[in-house]
Amino acid sequence: MISRNVTIQNSIGLHARPATFFIQKANSYNCSVWIEKEDRRVNAKSLLGVLSLGIVKGTTITLIADGSDENSAIEGLSELIDSDLEAL
């Protein structure tokens, strides 16, 4: 299991369309992926879970992955967030 802290920089946070693309990317990995914000942890492959965290610009979250492709998942999802989700 590995984890990484990332800060959301895009203007609308991880809501609606950006969240959908993030979840699609998370689902492309075989490992389990979670997002942790403060004391809550949700499945990063669940739209309702991700939206329930209310992640806005400037929020620091922890990405957690566990499984055969955990390194690829953390790298890929971190890069997506660092790109301000502009590739969408």
Pairing of strands 60-66, 32-37: antiparallel
Residue 5 is classified by DSSP as E
- Active-site choice (4, 12, 15, 36): 15
**Rounded to whole angstroms, how far apart are CA atoms 40 and 28?**
23
Cβ atoms 79, 28 nearer than 8 A: no
For the question of residue 47 being annotated catalytic, the response is no
- The catalytic site residues sit at 15
